[in-house]
Structure 1
Amino acid sequence: MATSNDIKNGSVLNLDGNLWTIIDFQHVKPGKGGAFVRTKMKNVMTGKTVDKTFNAGTKVEFETVDRRDMQYLYSDGTGYVFMDPNTFDQVTVSEAVMGDATDYLLESEKATIGSHNGNPIFLELPASVVLEVTYTEPGLQGDRSSGGTKPATLETGKEIQVPLFLEQGTRVKVNTSSGDYLGRVTD
């Protein structure tokens, strides 16, 4: 069994029957007292993030998670079907595992799927995606890029805030973790 000294970013731990992914860690050796490992962990199933501190040398149970880059194909009503572009294997991911990823995912987009014992347990999207604005109110004469914002609906149905000057049909870059507008994309 491994110890807390082996913790790295991306490691998956089994704590009390729940799987947790290490988002960030820091080994701390204070001048007085014993060393410890400070971590920020994300529950693989619920997405809840917590901070936890382990004493140095504490025994922890690591889990093996298979991470594969896959391509989104379609939604079949019961889940979302992804395909491995190398082996053409298909995997169905449940809506619970998908979470908010459906707001940013178009057909043939790539995503990383993590599986444990053959079951998909999490999905990682790229840091940003490019989507088209399908509806937004028209901007007014004199609107500037440093002005306010207005709501815009993307092709996936997600609504975000965009600058006043953007028009319907514009392609925009969107942060997948926060849903923030990052800029226009010109092809």
Structure 2
Amino acid sequence: MKINGNEIRPGNVITHKGGLWAAVKVQHVKPGKGGAFAQVELKNLVDNTKLNERFRSAETVERVRLEQKDYQFLFANGDMLSFMDLESYEQIELPTDFLGDRAAFLQDGMQIIVESHEGKPIGVQLPDQVTLEITETEPVVKGQTAASSYKPAMLENGLRVMVPPFVSTGDRIVVDTAEVTYIKRAE
């Protein structure tokens, strides 16, 4: 679907210079002289490179609709991850590198969304938050103020996060998958 350059919004996927690009930031600029334009920060969906482009309102770009399907994580086999389509029960395998650091958050049976374009997977959406157990952290020090001091903790998936002093080994905590930060103690 063709859209004008000034209609690009963050999150839109467009074809530009022969590749698929996602709009990360969009700023509309109206200079004193000349026509208005949109300053757009683009991220390549294949190789993750970034690009800043100007689009005038008279220019048109091709907006791409990605197909989104629900999948369930089954297991990791070496450097490949197996997922099952929740509608057709077909299985697909993706390399661990495809998810990058976020692969550490995968848990058995976790539901994810695989985004694809023309049948080729180009992105994965994990849940915003996951609950994980702390396997190792420092003990609480008496008299330490809770306001400003966080301590490092090792999670069951091997990642490190900073947690408040009242959290101890064996506790289950909720972690933000995008920022890899502590949110709260799990109930």
TM class, shorter-chain normalised? 0.7 to 0.9
CA distance, structure 2, for counterparts of residue 123 and residue 32 of structure 1: 42
SS state of the match for residue 101, structure 1?
A: helix
Per-residue CA deviation, residues 35-93 of structure 1 (Å, 9 max, x unaligned), is: 21232322212334444321112132333421123221111224211222232222212
Q: What's the CA shift string for 1:12-51, capped at 9, x where partnerless?
A: 1222232111234344445542121232322212334444
Structure 2 residue runs of 5 or longer lacking an equivalent are: none
Distance 2:16 2:162 in 1: 39
State the TM-score, normalizing by the size of structure 2: 0.85
**Structure 1: segments with no counterpart, 5+ residues:** none
Residues 1:147 and 1:41: Cα distance change in structure 2 (over 3 Å) = same
Task: Work out the number of aligned pairs and report it.
Answer: 186
Q: TM-score normalized by structure 1?
A: 0.85
What letter corresponds to residue 56 of structure 1 in structure 2? S
Partner of residue 60, structure 2: 59
Residue type of the partner of 1:13?
I
Cα RMSD (Å): 2.2
Cα contact 2:6–2:55 (8 A) shared by 1 = no
Q: What aligned pairs does 1:164-175 form with structure 2 within 5 A after superposition?
A: 164-175=165-176
How many Å separate the matches in 2 of 1:83 and 1:144? 47
**Conservation of the 8 A alpha-carbon contact between 2:23 and 2:43:** yes
Structure 1 residues 114-137: Cα deviation after superposition (integer angstroms, max 9, x where no partner)? 112222111122222221112212
Is the aligned partner of 1:135 residue 2:136?
yes
The 5-angstrom pairing of residues 1-187 of structure 1 reads: 2=2, 3-30=4-31, 32-186=33-187
Structure-2 change in CA distance of 1:104 and 1:49 (3 Å): farther
CA spacing shift, 1:172–1:146, aligned 2, 3 Å? same
Q: In 1, distance between residues paired with 2:142 and 2:29?
A: 56
CA contact (8 A) 1:69 1:112 kept: yes
Secondary structure at the aligned position of 1:37 is classed as strand
- With 152-161 and 64-73 compared, the bigger mean Cα shift is at 64-73
Alpha-carbon distance between aligned partners in 1 of 2:70 and 2:32, rounded to the nearest angstrom:
44
Residue 147 of structure 1 contacts residue 164 of structure 1 at CA under 8 Å; is this kept in 2? Answer: no
Alpha-carbon separation, structure 2, partners of 1:34 and 1:102: 45
Secondary structure of residue in 1 paired with 2:64: coil
Distance 1:75 1:139, change over 3 A: same
Asked if structure 1 preserves the Cα contact closer than 8 Å seen for 2:151 and 2:165, the reply is: yes
